[in-house]
């Protein structure tokens, strides 16, 4: 039995869950909360130096980091759907865009959230402005890229696993502008994919946890 240690509202937990759903794998989501202290103990023991999640427990083999979890699933549990192309050049490009979404979309989004966690009453406006400007630069760059990107026939790859949660939450922090219609349309498409829609619905009860305040959309 596969077990994923994480939380339904966590963007990186989503990333791993999308792959699990797309591959139609049975798994248990071991939620990190006060009602399940044993999961926190497992995380402290196996979550690396910082106790980060998600973690995948595959019959005693524990894999850290969402990208590595998806690689593991692709190696050991892939069926007709592949998260990473078998062609080496395409595989490299897929991994590259996984890093782009994590580093250039997810990271500035989380930086804004972090400012609200540090000072909910008076978050640092300058730091928020800096991070949102970086997001806007990423939006513009991704709009041009989206015009050339051909999604996989199966609908989901490592790229979509990374893009869906990062764009979902980034749009909450700083809405994708009308000047990026392809990116706005793709975000809506991603959220409608069944593996992603399951994550959206599972996370819905936790929206009040979003530090800047969750908008009334999606």
Burial grade of 87 (CB within 10 A; 0-12, 13-18, 19 or more): exposed
Query: If you write DSSP's letter for every residue of 9-70 in order, what string do you get?
Result: T-HHHHHHHHHHHHTT--EEEEE-STT-HHHHHHHHHHSTTTT-S-EEEETTEEEESHHHHH
83 SS3 class: coil
pLDDT, residue 119, reads 81
Mean pLDDT confidence for 141-164: 95
- pLDDT tens for each residue of 48-85: 999 999 999 999 999 999 999 999 999 999 887 899 99
pLDDT, residue 78, reads 85
The DSSP element (H or E) to which 71 belongs, if any, is helix 66-76
Query: If you write DSSP's letter for every residue of 117-184 in order, what string do you get?
Result: HH-SSS--HHHHHHHHHHHHHHHHHHHHHHTT----TTS--HHHHHHHHHHHHHHHHSPPPTT-HHHH
Domain 88-194 is found in CATH 1.10.3720.10:
no
206 SS3 class: helix
Smallest Cα–Cα separation from 11: which of 198, 217, 166?
A: 166
Mean pLDDT of the chain: 95
pLDDT, residue 80, reads 79
pLDDT, residue 121, reads 82
pLDDT, residue 122, reads 87
- The ranges assigned to domains in the chain are 88-194
- pLDDT tens for each residue of 116-140: 998 878 889 999 999 999 999 999 9
């Amino acid at each position: 039995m596969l077990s994923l240690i994480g939380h339904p509202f966590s963007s990186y937990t989503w990333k791993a869950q999308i792959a699990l759903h797309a591959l139609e794998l049975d798994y248990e989501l071991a939620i990190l909360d006060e009602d399940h202290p044993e999961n926190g103990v497992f995380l402290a023991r196996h979550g690396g130096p910082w106790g980060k999640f998600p973690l995948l427990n595959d019959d005693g083999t524990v894999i850290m980091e969402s990208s590595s979890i998806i690689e593991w699933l692709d190696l050991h549990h892939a069926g007709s759907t592949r998260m990473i192309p078998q062609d080496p050049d395409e595989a490299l490009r897929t991994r590259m865009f996984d890093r782009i979404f994590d580093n250039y979309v997810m990271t500035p989004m989380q930086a804004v959230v972090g400012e609200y966690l540090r000072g909910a009453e008076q978050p640092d406006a300058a730091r928020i402005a800096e991070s949102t400007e970086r997001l806007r630069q990423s939006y513009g760059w991704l709009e041009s890229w989206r015009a050339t990107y051909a999604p996989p026939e199966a609908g989901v790859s490592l790229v979509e696993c990374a893009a869906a949660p990062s764009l979902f939450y980034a749009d909450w922090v700083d809405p994708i502008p009308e000047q990026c219609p392809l990116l706005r349309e793709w975000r809506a498409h991603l959220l409608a994919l069944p593996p992603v829609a399951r994550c959206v619905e599972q996370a819905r009860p936790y929206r009040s946890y979003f530090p800047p305040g969750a908008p009334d959309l999606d």
